Amino acid sequence: MSAQLFLIAPIDVPAEILGPALKATLAEREVAALLLQRGALSENAYKTLVKSVAPMAQAAGAAVVIEGAPGLVRLLGADGLHVAGDIEAVREAVAALKPQMIVGVGGVHSRDDAMGAGELEVDYILFGPLSGAITADEREMARWWAETMEIPSVLSDPMAGFTDYDAEGCEFIGLGLSLPERAE
């Protein structure tokens, strides 16, 4: 089985730059999910970003997960929430959004973290960074999870290319969305 593409948008990129890059990627590849990171964007800039690019991704069949409070998911028309680490935030998201919406977890640093989140019946566990290079330990943890647990795993390797990645048996591969070079 081949891993499905879980696309990770770069942080702090305005909609007018992200939109065309996403459109080009969606025209070339089948994307299962898109994570729109908030980064340092203001609340209004993030809302604008999500409202402008989410419909494009959803029209192509990709689920859109966002960061922030559970209430933002419905307000912005997203499909779910990506929660980093904090188990209480995961509990809150699951209570507010499941079963209609997706709740995924990232920022897990141990098997215990992963199992704790998995016990809350999340929809996926993301192993690895949202930007930068993945470590050997993160790869091993993703492989272990994929081999032993039922909850889908995302191996996040944002620096890998669309053709040169190893999903380690995970259901999803998290790859970074490339942006065209901009003239300064």
CA distance to 40, 60, 106, 124, 141, per residue, from 23 (Å): 23, 9, 25, 25, 33
Q: What is the structure's pLDDT at 85?
A: 73
Tell me the torsion sign for CA atoms 157, 161, 167, 173: positive
Q: Alpha-carbon distance 108 to 78, whole Å? A: 23
Domain ranges, ordered by start, for the chain: 4-176
156, 128 contact by CB (below 8 A): yes
Q: What is the structure's pLDDT at 150?
A: 96
Per-residue pLDDT of the chain in tens (184 residues, 90 and over written 9): 589 999 999 999 889 999 999 999 999 999 999 999 999 999 999 999 999 999 999 999 999 999 999 999 999 999 999 999 789 999 999 999 999 999 999 999 999 999 999 999 999 999 999 999 999 999 999 999 999 999 999 999 999 988 888 899 999 999 999 876 544 4
Q: What is the structure's pLDDT at 183?
A: 40
* Closest to 113 (Cα-Cα) out of 140, 84, 136, 135: 84
Q: What is the number of H-type helices and E-type strands within the chain?
A: 6, 8
* Closest to 26 (Cα-Cα) out of 73, 65, 64: 64
Residue 62: CB atoms within 10 A of its CB come to: 24
Domain covering 4-176 in this structure, CATH number: 3.20.20.70
